Amino acid sequence: MRNPEWMALEDEAGARLDKFLAAPDRLNSRANAVRALERGKVYLNGEEAGLRDAARRLAAGDVVRLWADRPGSRSARPRTGRSRDLDVVYEDDALLVVNKPPGILSVPLERKPDVLSVYEQIETRLRSHGKRRPFIVHRIDQHTSGLIVFAKDAEAQRRIRLQFARRKPERVYLAVVYGQPSPPEGRWHDRLVWDEKALIQKAAHPRDPGGTDAVLTYRTLEAFPGSSLLELHLRTGRRNQIRIQARLRGHTLVGEQRYGHGPEDLPPIAFGRQALHAYRLAFEHPSDRRALRFEAPLPRDFVDLLARLRKRR
């Protein structure tokens, strides 16, 4: 197979990723495994695994895929978003903060080989200056716009990720949802579980051992006929968290596709993506611990949406 896929068996649980790849019936040597990881050709459970993940321990059932002909590793392939410039909000020797436009991935996904990612744009930028690949800190959804941070070395990545794990960064989003939440400000707390097959979050039983807590606080900034503009502060950082938590309360995001559509008793609002924008990001610098705080202006489509909703009043 050109792009082979392997599943870790019970007796391979606990094996390092690079050693798993180096097996004779896979890449046949540690050097080949390291080279594939370094070039971004390895995916673990659908997510890119780089050289930093070489020592990661596999669990039974983990799926490892080799993307031998990944775009950029051989010949270039046309991809959406290529004409868009990288909107750098902040950059120094340790990190880089980008305002991601909607429609572009945060990091490459094997299931979406024709879609450009911010990771690849940054990689091109760094390599033009003789530097290595960027290091992923966190990500936002393809059709969500706004702030995302990447590190330039493994230690900076580790320190920023540790802040995220301890829930220290301030992460504020703006969203347009159907209806008006009651009360107009408050706290949402759910137990969620990720469905690997459907690639969506689902509500879990409070005692489900596979579930994780999802917490955010919200505040209504503007109310429109049949919709509202919300400010949301993430207290946890679960995948698709805002989208599923809003849906669970009957306040589906305008433009949402994966987690259902708007309520049947409200007129539909046309918008080409989920109306979600990562507006503010604040954390400590990984080197000197000084406070960093960034805000990203709303993209044009979001501004136009708000203008249409205001006219309804």
Reduced 3-state DSSP string for 2-50 = CCCEEECCHHHCCCEHHHHHCCCCCCCCHHHHHHHHHCCCEEECCEEEC
Beta bridge partner(s), residue 96: 91, 150
Considering the candidates 141, 153, 301, 304, report the single residue annotated as catalytic: 141
Picking from 141, 145, 165, the residue whose alpha carbon sits closest to that of residue 239 is 141
Q: Verify whether residue 141 is a known catalytic residue.
A: yes
| Catalytic center residues | 141
